[in-house]
Structure 1
Amino acid sequence: MSLMAVKIIFQPSGLRGRVEEGISLLEAARQLGVDIESVCGSTEICGKCKVKIEAGYFAKFNLDSQMSHLSGLSGEERGVLTEKEIAENYRLACSTRIYGDVLVFVPEESRGKKQVVLEQGKERLFKLNPAVRKIPLEVEAATLGDLRGDFERIRDALAASCGLTKDLTIDFPVLCNLPNILRYERSKNRRITDKGMPLTKDTWNVTVTIWNNREIILVEPGLIEHCVGLAVDVGTTTVVAYLCDLKNGKVLDMDSMMNPQVRYGEDVLSRISYVMMNESGMRHMRDAIIEGINTLTCRLAEKNGFLPEDIVDVVMVFNTVMQHAALGIEPKFLGRSPFIAGVKSSMNIKARDLGIKVCQTSYVHTLPIAAGFVGADNVGVLIAEEPYREQEKIRMCIDIGTNGEIDIGNADKMLCTSCATGPALEGAQIKFGMRAAPGAIEKARIDPETIEISYKVIGQEQFYPELKTTGAKGICGSGIIDIVAELFKAGIIQSNGRFNMGLNSNRIRKGEDGKPEYVVAWAEETSIGKDITFNQADVRAVQLAKAALYVGANYLMEKLGVDCIDSIVLAGAFGNFIDRESAMVIGMIPDCDLANVVAAGNAAGDGAKLALFDVDKREEAAWIAREIEFIETAIEPDFQKRFVAAMAFPHAGDKFPHIQHLLDKIPKP
């Protein structure tokens, strides 16, 4: 068999390239800068380099990934992998050789270094008024003279002690076990040995968990003092979960991971495509995200001394496609005009129906969505930031991701829209782009006089050239924005995005494809043994993404009747880490006083937490989702004209007075 280059994509890192046919998956990973654990030194005994092969055609990548493109299963692999893992296409990267195009998903436990995920939001004031509360209760014991049923006995006790009406219902599985719980022998319950209230002849002592003052979702013997809930933000790229104390309003702990669905596509449209083109696509997508949520849930519970079933309330936010994938709602019509969601309103779903490993009789509350691609995560941002409470000033909230959501307005009126920014800003369509992980270039500055660059890599404190060997592997989103802005400010690329090849620098050259590129890091500085460059196609990808965002913001300003913005809130991980000046220099965001452009951290996650702690926030979310007006920018007659104008740096016509002093310094070709 003659040797040739085959295409391989590693998820969730997004790193990809062509490698020589016949090398191992582990060797291919190392060539492309993908960190995979290999404790045994590739002797096929530790099982740490376990990866999953995704079989099928992936239209987004034009990639046909098949198990037949790999070497056969070795005896060593059979000794390490379980039958279930073999059936699910798991292989050991060190012993599996590649002979055709494949898409490889690296499970979290096999990854050498963890992706940088934004978990923190900011301190916010809220009222502690959760949907779920635990009530210690003394219930009159049954006697021959009192023939009430056990449920009626509890309902009467709650009415007498808490004023709850007798319309209170009870979850059926709780009812089925109620007689045993009320007559529980205290010594058999290890969890209330120290805290349990002693049983007497006249009373049965229990703790009743009530949901929304309407339904009994749990009855436990004795006194149970803890009451914990879970807030989950399911993003296209990452999933973040927060374990919260519903009695004191504190976040006990948080954890995160890459969204396991990344293996099926890096943006929402590619995942819709995967569902449509693969018979079991929907099941695979849903199983992946539920498994991810359960992994985070179990890790948080164990770390903090709880059992997963101790979690008695859950709030989830997600973009619209992620919502459909997690709930099992057919998503294909979201990919077709008029882009209608299966459900817009908030929902309360039993955890057992979703397969989420918390108290099975508890509810999972999902925030509502505002429009087709303005999802519950954006509503979470709104109830966290509350721009609709501004009396006079105009505030804009921008959540930048593979799909960008924009809100603008104040107490008088709120508008919103969504923009298909694509995954370029997260590195997916950039030649040396990668996720924000150790080894990614996250900051950069270019000297306009010498054309030399200084940059910082995640995991390193010093900048190059202070640090001669940086271990750089690629460029993450914040680094991409910095590099484009710096190329423009130094006159290396012009306003139209084209390279100025007349500059005298060995960093500016033509690549192997004959197209212009700038050398960001020389091979000897990196850990991948090759020059890391930023080329003409990379610039174009950023132009498309930033233009989509700017045009969306521009239309909202016009519809609201304003020509300037008082403040901009950048929500989400990307907004938190990018340089505000760089973003404005390339025209990603409208002109605004940079002092009033602020990062809000994971505002969507904050919104989920607020809705977990305060049931009134759920009503507020339902209200704003109804009241905010969605603007579909793509159907505007002059959309294409505006989009083309927004492709220029910072814009072909619009003025940016707050950064004009920077633009004036740019060398003219």
Structure 2
Amino acid sequence: MPDSKRVRIIFSPSGKEGQFPVGTTVLQAAQELGVDIDSICGGQACCGRCQVKPMAGKFVREGLVSSDDHLGPLSADEHQCQASGQLEPGSRLSCQASLLADVKIDVPASSQVHRQLVRKDYEEHPIELDPLIHLYFVRVPVPDPDSGPGDTGLELLCATLAKDRGLSGLQAGPEVLEPLQSALRNDDRQVTVAVRDASQIVAVWPGLRDQAYGAAVDVGSTTIAVQLCDLSSGETLASTGAMNPQIRFGEDLMSRVSYAMQNPAGAGQMTRAVRSAINELLEKAIRLADIDASQVLEVTLVGNPVMHHLLLGLDPAPLGAAPFALTVDHAVEVPAAELDLQLAACARAYALPCIAGHVGADTAAVLLAESPWQKDEVSLIIDIGTNAE
């Protein structure tokens, strides 16, 4: 039974909070505050759908320190759910978890009754395509057994591209060697080669491939949007979106910066969360478009300065106070794997530059898309998002 001592509970992402007697279950508190948690069994611990996650750390803006031990120990029903694999690691059944001390609770999308519809529409502009990636279909000759060095598969491929396509001085990384070796096992030795910027061989496939793909990712404070595009036609093949999971660490930029400053592992937690969400959206877009993931070769990323820094694994703390100094103000291009993006080994990630401490890569992308310098009239760009820029 609840006792007379009252403790504070905050729910994320709704931000709803209240004070309740010790012993009150999380589900009871949620119901009183109007936080809709899925519980079709009515709190009998038999549906497993009311799962929530206690958050750990110091939340300065809310003036609260939260920990998983601020809830009572797992009940027998929770142990049973855990043993059966129904209860996710780190999660609790809100109908069983009782309040012991102040706590912040994350209600994941899967446990929300009224799940948020996340969608970012876009308007297509006519543009002249100039993709960085070009595909070439060639036949690699069989090596001459009497020739000396310089007759390897890679050397023969480069020589063929130079002779037939005028591409000289091409470079190739180690990630290309195994796919090339595999492709050249076919009797016809016909391969499709992806070349970036007329200088780098980035992918090799057996036979004919006539499409390469790229993804555009907009990391907002509240939502993340992904567009999957055909690099040769410019066509958008799939669009996906989701809530930014960083919201459980703070609902706006400054609260996330505060969380990173007050919790030594905070920035890393937020970096892992956003990268994981991007991977899920990329996977969904690839599935919707029904394409081969190995042909997604380019990812372009934008976001406000804090989102940009956290995505790249940079400390956002300098952006929380004057002079709001950026760690980097030029474009960043790295292998997609360095950002934990689960794409082909040759995929590259390109983060547009931030313009200033409060003007991010998302604004740079808008400027590129709208080209206001080409217009006679004055243009005004307004972003009424979470942070109301």
What TM-score do you get using the length of structure 2 for normalisation?
Answer: 0.92
Once the two structures are superposed, what CA deviation does each residue of 1:126-183 show, in whole Å capped at 9, x if it has no partner? Answer: 12222223322211122314451211111122222322222x2112222255323322
The counterpart of 1:369, out of the listed 354, 368, 386, is 354
The counterpart of 1:158, out of the listed 161, 164, 170, is 161
How many angstroms apart in 2 are the aligned matches of 1:5 and 1:178? Answer: 66
- Aligned position for 1:401: 385
Once the two structures are superposed, what CA deviation does each residue of 1:299-357 show, in whole Å capped at 9, x if it has no partner? Answer: 22223323544422111101111111111112212223221111111111101111111
- Aligned position for 1:249: 234
How many angstroms apart in 1 are the aligned matches of 2:126 and 2:27? Answer: 48
- Aligned position for 1:175: 177
Bigger drift between 378-387 and 58-67 goes to 378-387
Aligned in 2, Cα 1:345/1:225: closer, same or farther, shift over 3 Å? Answer: same
Once the two structures are superposed, what CA deviation does each residue of 1:623-662 show, in whole Å capped at 9, x if it has no partner? Answer: xxxxxxxxxxxxxxxxxxxxxxxxxxxxxxxxxxxxxxxx
Aligned in 2, Cα 1:367/1:83: closer, same or farther, shift over 3 Å? Answer: farther
Give the aligned residue type for 1:358.
L
- Aligned position for 1:381: 366
Counterparts of residues 169-568 of structure 1 (less than 5 Å): 169-184=171-186, 199-200=187-188, 204-391=189-376, 393-405=377-389
Give SS of 2:140's match. Answer: strand
How many angstroms apart in 1 are the aligned matches of 2:134 and 2:93? Answer: 47
Instruction: Indicate the percent of aligned positions where both proteins have the same amino acid.
Output: 36
Give SS of 1:397's match. Answer: coil
Residue pair 1:309, 1:357 contacting (<8 A) in 2 also: no
Cα deviation, residue 401, structure 1: 2.6
How many angstroms apart in 1 are the aligned matches of 2:198 and 2:35? Answer: 51
Unaligned runs of 5+ in 2: none
How many angstroms apart in 2 are the aligned matches of 1:400 and 1:311? Answer: 32
- Aligned position for 2:8: 7
Give the aligned residue type for 2:280.
T
Cα deviation, residue 368, structure 1: 0.9
- Aligned position for 1:49: 50
How many angstroms apart in 1 are the aligned matches of 2:181 and 2:284? Answer: 33
Aligned in 2, Cα 1:387/1:404: closer, same or farther, shift over 3 Å? Answer: farther
Give SS of 1:236's match. Answer: coil
Residue pair 1:12, 1:258 contacting (<8 A) in 2 also: no
Give the aligned residue type for 1:80.
C
- Aligned position for 2:115: 114
Aligned in 2, Cα 1:87/1:296: closer, same or farther, shift over 3 Å? Answer: closer
Cα deviation, residue 87, structure 1: 9.4
How many angstroms apart in 2 are the aligned matches of 1:118 and 1:401? Answer: 13
Once the two structures are superposed, what CA deviation does each residue of 1:593-633 show, in whole Å capped at 9, x if it has no partner? Answer: xxxxxxxxxxxxxxxxxxxxxxxxxxxxxxxxxxxxxxxxx
How many angstroms apart in 1 are the aligned matches of 2:83 and 2:198? Answer: 47
Residue pair 1:47, 1:81 contacting (<8 A) in 2 also: no
The total of aligned residue pairs comes to 386
Give SS of 1:140's match. Answer: coil
How many angstroms apart in 2 are the aligned matches of 1:123 and 1:376? Answer: 19
How many angstroms apart in 1 are the aligned matches of 2:157 and 2:41? Answer: 59
- Aligned position for 1:31: 32
Give the aligned residue type for 1:174.
V
Aligned in 2, Cα 1:81/1:375: closer, same or farther, shift over 3 Å? Answer: farther
Counterparts of residues 91-106 of structure 1 (less than 5 Å): 91-106=92-107
- Aligned position for 1:495: none
Give the aligned residue type for 2:183.
I
Residue pair 1:52, 1:88 contacting (<8 A) in 2 also: no
Give the aligned residue type for 2:112.
R
Q: Does 1:18 align with 2:19?
A: yes
Aligned in 2, Cα 1:397/1:172: closer, same or farther, shift over 3 Å? Answer: same
How many angstroms apart in 2 are the aligned matches of 1:111 and 1:301? Answer: 26
Residue pair 1:308, 1:357 contacting (<8 A) in 2 also: no
Aligned in 2, Cα 1:367/1:18: closer, same or farther, shift over 3 Å? Answer: same
How many angstroms apart in 1 are the aligned matches of 2:13 and 2:218? Answer: 18
Cα deviation, residue 109, structure 1: 2.3
Aligned in 2, Cα 1:245/1:14: closer, same or farther, shift over 3 Å? Answer: farther
Residue pair 2:330, 2:354 contacting (<8 A) in 1 also: yes
How many angstroms apart in 2 are the aligned matches of 1:234 and 1:320? Answer: 10
Cα deviation, residue 236, structure 1: 0.8
- Aligned position for 1:139: 140
Aligned in 2, Cα 1:13/1:226: closer, same or farther, shift over 3 Å? Answer: farther
How many angstroms apart in 1 are the aligned matches of 2:143 and 2:46? Answer: 62
How many angstroms apart in 1 are the aligned matches of 2:86 and 2:361? Answer: 34
Residue pair 1:244, 1:252 contacting (<8 A) in 2 also: yes
Give the aligned residue type for 2:105.
V
Once the two structures are superposed, what CA deviation does each residue of 1:39-80 show, in whole Å capped at 9, x if it has no partner? Answer: 444332333222221111100111111222212112322333
Residue pair 2:3, 2:21 contacting (<8 A) in 1 also: no
How many angstroms apart in 2 are the aligned matches of 1:315 and 1:65? Answer: 36
How many angstroms apart in 2 are the aligned matches of 1:152 and 1:109? Answer: 52
Cα deviation, residue 246, structure 1: 1.7
Residue pair 2:179, 2:205 contacting (<8 A) in 1 also: no
Counterparts of residues 625-664 of structure 1 (less than 5 Å): none
- Aligned position for 1:70: 71
Give SS of 1:64's match. Answer: strand
Residue pair 1:19, 1:28 contacting (<8 A) in 2 also: yes
Residue pair 2:180, 2:205 contacting (<8 A) in 1 also: no
Aligned in 2, Cα 1:66/1:212: closer, same or farther, shift over 3 Å? Answer: same
Cα deviation, residue 240, structure 1: 0.7
Cα deviation, residue 2, structure 1: 2.6
Give the aligned residue type for 2:140.
V
Give the aligned residue type for 1:115.
Q
Cα deviation, residue 385, structure 1: 2.3
Give SS of 1:313's match. Answer: strand
Residue pair 2:300, 2:350 contacting (<8 A) in 1 also: yes
Give the aligned residue type for 1:270.
S
Residue pair 1:238, 1:257 contacting (<8 A) in 2 also: yes
How many angstroms apart in 2 are the aligned matches of 1:308 and 1:12? Answer: 32
- Aligned position for 1:149: 152
Residue pair 1:3, 1:22 contacting (<8 A) in 2 also: no
